[in-house]
């Protein structure tokens, strides 16, 4: 805390009277000298508190003794002031904006900026400083750890996670929140946004906040606000460097079967004759190295036999993960540079920024991104304001080395004992398709080498992805009298993606294709139907989005009333086209290529089956259009009561909807009441208290759903040379948009002299007309499932956000706490089918009273003590009748229910300790109240695809083992139903609860004030460690519940150094 001693300017003018004197004062903000109202002024001498008035003025009586005042205000650093003499001129107290604390913030909805104070809806603002606590290429990656009520679901969706705001609002519809960049939806790849251009991110959580976005707001809205220049500001230059070093991923997290176990399995299968089919095949398919050795061993005798046995034993000691670590993985290095210049005169402001990222991934894959942004605001007259902005981003990524899982030998798998080099370091070939001797034989020596060398092959494949993204917008605002203004905005977005894949002549892919299509004539000559050379595949995608918006704004205050309203209309069009070509016989040095005949089928040299030469990709073009009308109005009385209402209608060009039905009205309404402004409100402890209540609807559109039967044209049929088509969507005339109703009750507060502030919110969600999957009797001919508006869900939750300044001395300790509780359950599901398999495999449940994503499992009766076979329960009796245990007769009621598959209680805690200019931040993240199904050994895929799991070593081996293990015995053949019972049985369900240390940041700031000789205003140095790992986890298997996929690996730890300077 700062002590400021204010001496009266008129010390020498000391009045003789020592009686009581009134002292007047004004409290202003340090930077812009704005009067601050309702600032708490605590007189320490007599422990009374008074507040500044609307103009920031206050007055107190001076009794002759020095008065100690403690002045505190939300968003500003507290100050202690000692008045040691009375004065007749007003005392000016300047409060410094506290950059770490919540300010009186402006939030952005994409349609308007409004002070959070006047908002009725639920908004979370993540400011720049919080965003800066992490380093990443994609700004959205930073949200999960810091944003209230945002969680990334990695278990029921893609591996890199899907952001969810306040849980799920849909069952089968699109689940991604809407991303807004400044004013309009961002249709492109969010990786193209330079994170250093971002000023703040606002999350619109409830209906009143989001419903202005109508039919796309059902999953919540994330508004990214970029930095802007300011009028009347000197040139300011920011420069920023980040260097991030990331560890190699831990391949040993992957539960791969041990080489020794795997060789034992292959030996058993060999003895059982499993490989006979391949060994005897006239096609002579490639065999695994172990099988080849076993064949040799069977034919050999004596010493030779022993030698082969030694070779097998040597292979048992190899682990392919060591090979990957040695040859392919490295530490990754990400470099990020950004510069930002801005300034402004009286009539214009400007900003120019640029960012450059260069990442080298763990697999040595380079990624470059350059972004350039220019923003200009011109205010030629008091009425007119013109905004122009252009952002250009160019990114280029290339492939690196192959990752674990991407190298496959024969049967599309990779044996755990695979080596990439021989003892002398020469690249080894991996058996892939057919035996080399056979290749020589069928090709009469005319074929290219048909072997696959993993260590070399990636050098002959280059894939590059280039994205050019342009975002241009222009906005015109004209102020009319009576607080009315009009806005016209237009934005054009264009993202061009070019993918170039070159497999050169040396690559396995090219050699394989050329060989397969080679024909050997009777006289032994080779005819190459695919010319010798490489393959070039070029794909081009162009996305363009146009947005046009006209908007009328009213902002007017008179007496105790103030009105802020907007109304407008917008048109949006997004079109996306793609095309490309494939060239054979391609030579990258000469850019030459050969000709092929696509109209004829050619017999494969391997098995004679005929096939066409793979043609290039089809041309595609898609278009979505929206027309929307929207309006939002808020009326505030006496700065205390606010009433808001908003409405929106969207129409789109989705198939099969009549125009009348296309218009889908969505609305919301809200109230807020700032109780602490009431005259009757006396609490000086709880200095700020505001109540909010909102109710409203938002929607969710799935453009892929259709109300009519549509067909999709494909290529030309090679037989009839006419186009052929397949069904794309089946008529679904009653199709409606999903709606999401939300009630939100919120309290914003601050107490303990504004040292603690935050909000607590309770909400109820009700999803209606939700799409659900109905199982169909496939005699109907359209497959076994159909989507219908069949379900509704109910969810409720609590979000708590708390910021506190726990210690406020030279040493400061701040805490930011986010706790979110979210529960949803299905309230209606008009589907008849209750087949258990659907609830197990599809992930989404449709069971009334249960969460949308729920974990169920077959009841498990342990392993058979005699045989080690899995057992389940049939009519409450232990059974091994697998037909019935996992058949279509098993109903959902027969399964054991665990709970939600997505976290129901989650959040983060950030603690910042600072001493003077040094500060240290820790951020922990936690997820509780959910379950997941872990992987284990799958004997069917072990035998057929060579995919093993480390659990193999824990299998039942002899009677008695059933007491310690649930892994079934090793049987051959293994029935698929037995596998299903185990894979989806109770023994593999785990609790997902865990706490992780997300990141740590140590930073140090040098200011001109502290270091006068500093050539710049500030230098900010930081050191970050990201992905520190799990602190506590409920499962005993050492599984990170965020990384449960078969080959997924937790994000490795990364270390970043950052330097930021301003001058």
Partner 1 sequence: MVSRKIYLALFCGLVFGSAGCQKFLDAKPEKTLTIPSTLADFQALLDNYPIFAPDPHEGEHSDDDHYLNNDDWESLYSDYERKIYTWEKEYQFDSEANSWSNTYRTIYFCNTVLEGLQKINRNPKNSAEWDHLKGQALYYRGKRLLQASFIWTPAYDKGTANSDLGLPLRFSADFNIKSKRASVEETYLQLLNDLKSSIQLLPINPVSKVRPSKPACYALLSRAYLSMRDYVNAGLYADSCLQLNHELIDYNDLDGTEINPLKRFNTEVIAENEIGEGQALNFTRGRVSPDLYNMYDQDDLRKEMLFSNNPDGTHGFRARLVGTTGLFGGTATNEVYLNRAESYARAGKTTLALNDLNKLLLKRWRKNKFNPISGLDAKEVLDLILKERRKELLFRGIRWVDLKRLNKEGRNIVLTRNLNNKIYRLEPNDLRYTLLIPQDVITRSGMQQNPR
**Residues 726-755 close enough to bind partner 1 by CB under 8 A:** 726-728, 730
Answer yes or no whether residue 885 interacts with partner 1 by CB under 8 A.
no
Q: Which is nearer to partner 1, 677 or 834 (CB)?
A: 834
Answer yes or no whether residue 783 interacts with partner 1 by CB under 8 A.
yes
- Which residue in 161, 166, 124 sits closest to 146, CA to CA? 124
CA distance 492 to 470: 8
CA distance 516 to 613: 10
Q: Which is nearer to partner 1, 481 or 608 (CB)?
A: 608
Of residues 979-1008, which lie at the interface with partner 1 (CB under 8 A)? none
In degrees, rounded to 5, the angle at the alpha carbon of residue 413 between the alpha carbons of residues 411 and 418 is 120
Q: Tell me which of 655, 751, 928, 1004 binds partner 1, using CB under 8 A.
A: 655
Pick the piece of the chain touching partner 1 (CB under 8 A) from 228-236, 425-433, 449-457, 772-780. 772-780
Least distance in angstroms from the C-beta of 666 to partner 1: 14
- Which residue in 607, 425, 407, 594 sits closest to 515, CA to CA? 607
Least distance in angstroms from the C-beta of 622 to partner 1: 4
Least distance in angstroms from the C-beta of 651 to partner 1: 6
Of residues 559-578, which lie at the interface with partner 1 (CB under 8 A)? 569, 571
Q: DSSP letter at 613?
A: P
Least distance in angstroms from the C-beta of 623 to partner 1: 5
Answer yes or no whether residue 660 interacts with partner 1 by CB under 8 A.
yes
Q: Tell me which of 273, 309, 615, 1045 binds partner 1, using CB under 8 A.
A: 273
Answer yes or no whether residue 708 interacts with partner 1 by CB under 8 A.
yes
Q: Which is nearer to partner 1, 345 or 600 (CB)?
A: 600
Least distance in angstroms from the C-beta of 731 to partner 1: 8
Q: Tell me which of 940, 953, 1051, 1062 binds partner 1, using CB under 8 A.
A: 940
Residue 180 CA neighbour count, 13 Å, CB half: 25
User: From the CB of residue 1050, how many other CB atoms can be counted at a distance below 10 Å?
Assistant: 16
CB 864, CB 871: distance < 8 Å: yes
Answer yes or no whether residue 835 interacts with partner 1 by CB under 8 A.
yes
Of residues 123-182, which lie at the interface with partner 1 (CB under 8 A)? none
Q: Which is nearer to partner 1, 777 or 893 (CB)?
A: 777
User: From the CB of residue 292, how many other CB atoms can be counted at a distance below 10 Å?
Assistant: 15
CB 94, CB 28: distance < 8 Å: yes
Answer yes or no whether residue 703 interacts with partner 1 by CB under 8 A.
yes
- Which residue in 349, 312, 357 sits closest to 333, CA to CA? 357
Least distance in angstroms from the C-beta of 269 to partner 1: 8
The phi-psi region of residue 848 (left if phi > 0; otherwise alpha if psi is between -120 and 50; otherwise beta) is beta
Least distance in angstroms from the C-beta of 647 to partner 1: 11
Of residues 785-824, which lie at the interface with partner 1 (CB under 8 A)? 786
Q: Which is nearer to partner 1, 206 or 266 (CB)?
A: 266
Q: Which is nearer to partner 1, 111 or 926 (CB)?
A: 111
Q: Tell me which of 366, 405, 887, 929 binds partner 1, using CB under 8 A.
A: 887
Which residue blocks in 272-412 are alpha helix, DSSP H?
276-279, 289-299, 302-316, 320-327
Q: Tell me which of 151, 181, 654, 989 binds partner 1, using CB under 8 A.
A: 654
Residue 751 CA neighbour count, 13 Å, CB half: 11
Least distance in angstroms from the C-beta of 497 to partner 1: 18
Pick the piece of the chain touching partner 1 (CB under 8 A) from 513-521, 748-756, 783-791, 920-928. 783-791
Answer yes or no whether residue 883 interacts with partner 1 by CB under 8 A.
yes
Pick the piece of the chain touching partner 1 (CB under 8 A) from 2-10, 720-728, 795-803, 894-902. 720-728
Give me the sign of the Cα torsion angle 360, 362, 363, 369.
negative
Least distance in angstroms from the C-beta of 732 to partner 1: 10
Q: Which is nearer to partner 1, 251 or 654 (CB)?
A: 654
Helix axes 302-316, 259-271, angle to 10 degrees: 140
- For residues 652, 187, 199, 923, the Cα torsion angle rounded to the nearest 10 degrees is 110
Q: Which is nearer to partner 1, 314 or 708 (CB)?
A: 708
Q: Tell me which of 722, 866, 963, 964 binds partner 1, using CB under 8 A.
A: 722
Supply 1047's token pair.
Answer: 């080959």
For residue 240, give Cα distances in angstroms to 336, 346, 485, 1018.
8, 28, 38, 12
CB 147, CB 201: distance < 8 Å: yes
Q: Which is nearer to partner 1, 275 or 853 (CB)?
A: 275
Q: Tell me which of 653, 953, 1007, 1051 binds partner 1, using CB under 8 A.
A: 653
Answer yes or no whether residue 723 interacts with partner 1 by CB under 8 A.
yes
Answer yes or no whether residue 412 interacts with partner 1 by CB under 8 A.
no
Least distance in angstroms from the C-beta of 479 to partner 1: 22
In degrees, rounded to 5, the angle at the alpha carbon of residue 316 between the alpha carbons of residues 300 and 307 is 25
Q: DSSP letter at 381?
A: S
Of residues 589-648, which lie at the interface with partner 1 (CB under 8 A)? 601, 603, 607-611, 618, 620-625, 627, 629
CA distance 754 to 95: 14
Answer yes or no whether residue 523 interacts with partner 1 by CB under 8 A.
no
Of residues 45-104, which lie at the interface with partner 1 (CB under 8 A)? none
Q: Which is nearer to partner 1, 567 or 675 (CB)?
A: 567
Q: Tell me which of 20, 24, 331, 714 binds partner 1, using CB under 8 A.
A: 714
Q: Tell me which of 720, 876, 958, 964 binds partner 1, using CB under 8 A.
A: 720
Q: Which is nearer to partner 1, 406 or 611 (CB)?
A: 611
CA distance 153 to 165: 10
CB 968, CB 938: distance < 8 Å: no
If binding means CB under 8 A, how many residues of this protein chain bind partner 1? 83
For residue 712, give Cα distances in angstroms to 162, 723, 787.
29, 10, 18
Strand partners, 897: 856
Q: DSSP letter at 262?
A: H
Answer yes or no whether residue 22 interacts with partner 1 by CB under 8 A.
no
Q: Tell me which of 598, 681, 915, 972 binds partner 1, using CB under 8 A.
A: 972
Q: Tell me which of 540, 710, 764, 879 binds partner 1, using CB under 8 A.
A: 710
For residue 206, give Cα distances in angstroms to 126, 222, 270, 695, 826.
17, 12, 62, 8, 20
CA distance 112 to 904: 33
Q: Tell me which of 49, 669, 833, 911 binds partner 1, using CB under 8 A.
A: 833
Looking at the chain, how many residues does it have?
1063
CB 771, CB 172: distance < 8 Å: yes
CA distance 599 to 613: 8
Least distance in angstroms from the C-beta of 835 to partner 1: 7
Q: Which is nearer to partner 1, 64 or 703 (CB)?
A: 703
Question: How does DSSP assign 714-745, residue by residue?
Answer: EEE-TTT-SEEEEEEE---TT---EEEEEEEE
Q: Which is nearer to partner 1, 86 or 285 (CB)?
A: 285
Q: Which is nearer to partner 1, 103 or 834 (CB)?
A: 834
Give me the sign of the Cα torsion angle 837, 840, 842, 844.
positive
Answer yes or no whether residue 889 interacts with partner 1 by CB under 8 A.
yes
Cis peptide before 973 (omega within 30 of 0): yes
Q: Tell me which of 424, 523, 559, 779 binds partner 1, using CB under 8 A.
A: 779
- Which residue in 906, 795, 1050 sits closest to 146, CA to CA? 906
Least distance in angstroms from the C-beta of 620 to partner 1: 6
User: From the CB of residue 583, how many other CB atoms can be counted at a distance below 10 Å?
Assistant: 21
């Amino acid at each position: 805390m700062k002590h400021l001693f204010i001496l009266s300017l008129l010390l020498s003018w000391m009045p003789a009277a020592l009686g009581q004197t009134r002292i007047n004062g004004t409290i202003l903000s340090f930077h812009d000298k704005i009067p601050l109202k309702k600032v708490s002024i605590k007189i320490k001498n007599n422990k009374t508190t008074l507040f500044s008035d609307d103009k920031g003025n206050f007055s107190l009586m001076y009794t002759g003794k020095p008065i100690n005042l403690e002045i505190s205000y939300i968003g500003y650093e507290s100050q202690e002031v000692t008045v040691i003499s009375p004065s007749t001129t007003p005392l000016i107290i300047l409060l410094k904006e506290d950059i770490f604390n919540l300010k009186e913030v402006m939030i952005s909805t994409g349609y308007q900026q409004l002070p959070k104070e006047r908002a009725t809806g639920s908004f979370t603002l993540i400011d720049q400083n919080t965003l800066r606590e992490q380093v990443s290429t994609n700004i959205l990656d930073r949200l999960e750890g810091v944003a209230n009520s945002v969680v990334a679901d990695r278990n029921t969706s893609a591996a890199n996670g899907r952001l969810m705001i306040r849980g799920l609002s849909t069952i089968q519809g699109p689940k991604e929140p809407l991303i807004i960049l400044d004013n309009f939806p961002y249709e492109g790849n969010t990786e193209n946004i330079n994170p250093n251009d971002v000023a703040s991110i606002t999350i619109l959580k409830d209906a009143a906040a989001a419903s202005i976005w109508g039919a796309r707001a059902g999953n919540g809205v994330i508004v990214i606000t970029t930095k802007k220049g300011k009028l009347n500001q000197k040139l300011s230059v920011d420069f920023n460097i980040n260097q991030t070093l990331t560890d190699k991923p831990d391949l040993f997290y992957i539960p791969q079967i041990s080489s020794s176990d795997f060789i034992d399995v292959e030996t058993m299968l060999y003895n059982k004759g499993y490989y006979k089919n391949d060994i005897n095949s006239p096609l002579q398919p490639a065999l695994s190295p172990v099988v080849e050795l076993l064949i040799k061993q069977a034919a050999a005798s004596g010493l030779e036999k022993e030698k082969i046995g030694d070779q097998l034993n040597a292979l048992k000691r190899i682990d392919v993960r060591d090979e990957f670590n040695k040859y392919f993985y490295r530490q990754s290095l990400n470099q990020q540079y950004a510069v930002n210049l801005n300034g402004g005169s009286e009539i214009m402001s400007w900003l120019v920024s640029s960012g450059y990222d260069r990442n080298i991934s763990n697999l040595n894959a380079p990624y470059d991104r350059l972004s350039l942004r220019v923003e200009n605001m011109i205010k030629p007259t008091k009425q007119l304001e013109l905004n122009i902005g252009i952002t250009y981003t160019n990114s280029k990524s290339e492939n690196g080395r192959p990752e674990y899982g991407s190298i496959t030998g024969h049967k599309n798998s990779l044996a755990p004992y695979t080596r990439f080099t021989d003892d002398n370091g020469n690249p080894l070939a991996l058996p892939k398709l057919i035996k080399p001797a056979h290749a020589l034989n069928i090709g009469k020596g005319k074929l290219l080498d048909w072997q696959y060398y993993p260590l070399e092959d990636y050098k002959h494949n280059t894939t590059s992805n280039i994205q050019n993204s342009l975002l241009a917008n222009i906005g015109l605002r004209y102020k009319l009298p009576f607080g009315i203004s009009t806005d016209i905005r237009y934005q054009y977005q264009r993202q061009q993606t070019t993918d170039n894949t070159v497999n050169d002549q040396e690559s396995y892919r090219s050699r394989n294709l050329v060989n397969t299509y080679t024909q050997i004539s009777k006289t032994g000559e080779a005819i190459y139907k695919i010319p010798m050379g490489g393959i070039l595949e070029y794909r081009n995608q162009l996305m363009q989005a146009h947005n046009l918006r006209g908007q009328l704004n009213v902002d007017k205050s008179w007496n105790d009333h103030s009105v802020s309203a907007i109304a407008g209309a917008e048109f949006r069009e997004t079109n996306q086209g793609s095309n490309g070509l494939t060239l054979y016989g391609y030579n990258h040095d000469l850019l030459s290529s050969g000709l092929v005949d696509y109209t004829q089928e050619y017999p494969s040299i391997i098995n004679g089956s005929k096939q066409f030469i793979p043609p290039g990709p089809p041309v595609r073009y898609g278009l979505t259009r929206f027309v929307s009308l929207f309006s939002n109005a808020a009326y505030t009385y006496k700065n205390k009561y606010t009433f808001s209402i908003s409405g929106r209608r969207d129409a789109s060009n989705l198939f099969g909807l009549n125009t009348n039905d296309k218009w889908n009205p969505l609305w919301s309404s809200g109230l807020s009441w700032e109780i602490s402004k009431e005259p009757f409100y006396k609490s000086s402890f709880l200095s700020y208290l505001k109540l909010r209540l909102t109710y409203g609807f938002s929607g969710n559109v799935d453009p892929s759903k259709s109300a009519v039967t549509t067909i999709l044209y494909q290529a030309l049929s090679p037989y009839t040379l006419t186009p052929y088509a397949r069904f794309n969507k089946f008529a679904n005339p009653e199709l409606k948009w999903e709606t999401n109703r939300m009630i939100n009750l919120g309290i914003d507060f601050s107490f303990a002299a504004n040292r603690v502030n935050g909000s607590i919110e309770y909400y109820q969600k009700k999803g209606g007309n939700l799409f659900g999957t109905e199982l169909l009797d496939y005699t109907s001919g359209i497959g076994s499932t159909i989507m219908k508006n069949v379900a509704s869900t109910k969810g409720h939750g609590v979000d708590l956000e708390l910021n506190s300044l726990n210690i406020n001395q030279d040493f400061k300790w701040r805490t930011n706490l986010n706790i979110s509780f979210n529960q949803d359950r299905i309230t209606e599901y008009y589907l008849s089918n209750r087949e258990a398999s659907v609830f197990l495999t599809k992930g989404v449940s449709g069971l009334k009273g249960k969460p949308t994503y729920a974990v169920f499992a077959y009841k498990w009766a342990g392993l058979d003590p005699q045989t080690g076979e899995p057992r389940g329960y049939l009519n409450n009796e232990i059974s091994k009748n697998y037909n019935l245990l996992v058949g279509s007769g098993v109903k959902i009621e027969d399964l054991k229910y665990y709970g939600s598959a997505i976290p129901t209680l989650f959040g983060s805690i950030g603690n910042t300790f600072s001493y003077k200019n040094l500060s240290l931040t820790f951020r922990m993240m936690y997820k509780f109240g959910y379950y997941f199904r872990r992987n284990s050994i799958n004997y069917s895929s072990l035998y057929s695809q060579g995919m093993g799991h480390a659990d193999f070593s824990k299998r039942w081996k002899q009677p008695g083992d059933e007491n310690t293990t649930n892994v079934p015995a090793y049987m051959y053949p293994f029935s698929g139903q037995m596998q299903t019972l185990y894979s989806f049985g109770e023994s593999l369900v785990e609790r997902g609860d865990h706490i992780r240390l997300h990141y740590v940041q140590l930073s140090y700031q040098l200011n001109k004030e502290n270091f006068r000789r500093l050539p710049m205003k500030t230098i900010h140095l930081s050191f970050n460690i990201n992905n520190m790992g799990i602190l506590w986890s409920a499962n005993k298997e050492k599984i990170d519940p965020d990384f449960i996929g078969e080959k997924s690996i937790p994000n490795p730890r990364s270390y970043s150094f950052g330097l930021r300077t301003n001058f």
